[in-house]
Amino acid sequence: MPGWKGIVGASFNPDEFDAYCHTLQWLAWRPSFIVLHNTGAPSLAQRPNGLTKKHIQGLEAFYRDEQKWSAGPHLFVDDRQIWVFTPLTVSGVHSPSWNKVALGVEMLGDYEKEAFDGGRGLKVRTNAVAALATLNAILGFESQTMRLHREDPLTTHACPGKNVRKLEVIQEVQDLILSRHPGEHALKPVA
């Protein structure tokens, strides 16, 4: 399809993802915030071993050939890894109102039904928080600017599901940023 932006198609653990993001430069496009999603289908139960390279290639064909979109979300996060899908330095397609201004982060799972605070859902959450903390720190976002897909006025479904509570995720992102960079955010004594 003409205009397809391509995919990176590489997976990282949280530390590798952080190192990878430090190699990038946002010159042609710079997002303003991050939108958090869940896949819904497939659910965690439907992907007992997380996402594989074959699954990522299938998602590429789905977005490019079936949907006829120019791109897909930027990340797919499962309980084992963080997949970079659409390059982080170009706009993606993931949320009608915010495609041109936001990064899209998809979490494997159906968090309308599946747990987000235990089991594999908690592992997805931990990896997603790590990815969000990296992107917030590198791009200079305040973690409170994160939005859930369901907050998009042009969206009709409850993505990322009722079990994803925005304020809890924001707090975890803030806590992780502070633990990674404790001196940078500490209050300085007034002279």
Q: What is the pLDDT of residue 190?
A: 43
For 121-154, the pLDDT digits (tens) are 999 999 999 999 999 999 999 999 999 999 999 9
For 93-116, the pLDDT digits (tens) are 999 999 999 999 999 999 999 999
**In the numeric block, which tokens belong to residue 101?**
């201004």
Using DSSP's 3-state secondary structure scheme, residue 87 falls into coil
Read off φ and ψ for residue 35, nearest 5 degrees.
-110, 130
Angle at 105 between CA 103 and CA 106, to 5 degrees: 145
Give the integer Cα–Cα distance in Å for 17 and 131: 7
Give the integer Cα–Cα distance in Å for 104 and 14: 17
DSSP 100: T
Q: List, in sequence order, every residue forming a beta bridge with 38; answer none if it has no partner.
A: 107
Mean pLDDT for 31-57 is 97
- Peptide bond just before 42 cis, omega within 30 deg: yes
Beta strand residue intervals within 4-46, DSSP E: 10-12, 33-38
| pLDDT tier, 183 (very low <50, low <70, confident <90, very high otherwise) | low
For 1-24, the pLDDT digits (tens) are 459 999 999 999 999 999 999 999
Give the integer Cα–Cα distance in Å for 47 and 42: 7
Task: Please give the domain boundaries of the chain with CATH numbers for all domains.
Answer: 10-180 (3.40.80.10)
The closest of 24, 26, 25, 31 to 10, measured between CA atoms, is 24
Whether 181 has a pLDDT exceeding 70, the answer reads yes
Q: What is the pLDDT of residue 2?
A: 56
